Amino acid sequence: MSLATSLSRQTMLLEENLADLSFGLYKPHFNFQTPEQYKTALERLRDQERQVIRDGTAAVCPTTWTVGNSLKEGARMVRLNSKLILRAFNGECEAALADVSWNNITRMEERIRKSAEAIRKLEDVLQISITPEYLQLKLNELRLAHELEQKKYEDREEQRRVREERREEERALRETEQAREEAEREEVRYQKALEKPAAISWLRCLDFEGGPTSLGHRCPALCKS
């Protein structure tokens, strides 16, 4: 495969992945509600993987080989090569798991499938390959890890939304309080403005004809008969 073809394929995968997410086409394979549930499911799945490896069904060879006319040595050769390809495959899967995030599942799934196919081609002579069962377990592990990251992302976004709503509520409360305080100050200014003409008239009354009304003088401004 040429470099241009490889780059074109990677670009296409990335675009498909982003399109799937933007249009909501990715369908979750699991239905857990919390990150803790996803973590528990991951642990159970990894236990299954270990059991499949112990049972010898993670990688298989359909051919019975002999080495030096020895079936035992042939089986040993297959077992050692199976360990090598499983180590290589698991390493690639771990790398994909380390890179998976909420928005790149398609690319990471393709990475794992390509790794299994590359191992099959490398071991074409001995005919050793990763079994579909083990490949599916690894894909499910990746999907669980992806959905865990997606759940974490959604939780962060929800927390961000709640914080933003709280800030908006606090801002609205502050604005309401400021408006109330300003209205109170305006009322005080208004009352003072109403009182000021009366006070001025009273002072004028004191000067009218030499004294207040208690001295027998009536102020025309305040003491109209």
Give the tens place of pLDDT for each residue, 20-69: 444 344 567 787 888 888 889 999 999 999 999 999 999 999 999 999 99
In a domain, 219, yes or no: no
Among 102-116, 141-155, 164-178, 202-216, the range scoring the smallest mean pLDDT is 202-216
Cβ pair 126, 89 in contact under 8 A: no
Q: Is 224 within a domain?
A: no
For residue 191, being part of any structural domain is answered with no
Pick the more confident residue, 74 or 192.
74
Answer whether 0.95 is exceeded by the pTM.
Answer: no
* 50 located within any domain: yes
How many domains are there within the chain? 1
Q: Structural domain of residue 159, as residue ranges?
A: 3-166
Asked if residue 161 belongs to a domain, the reply is: yes
If we measure between CA atoms, which residue out of 120, 109, 110 comes closest to residue 60? 120
Residue 47 forms part of a structural domain: yes
- Residue 23: inside a domain: yes
Q: Quick one: what percent of the chain has pLDDT higher than 90?
A: 48
Residue 216 domain-assigned?
no
Q: Is 90 exposed, middle or buried (0-12, 13-18, 19+ CB in 10 A)?
A: middle
Task: Report the first-to-last Cα separation within the chain, whole angstroms.
Answer: 113
**2, pLDDT greater than 70:** no
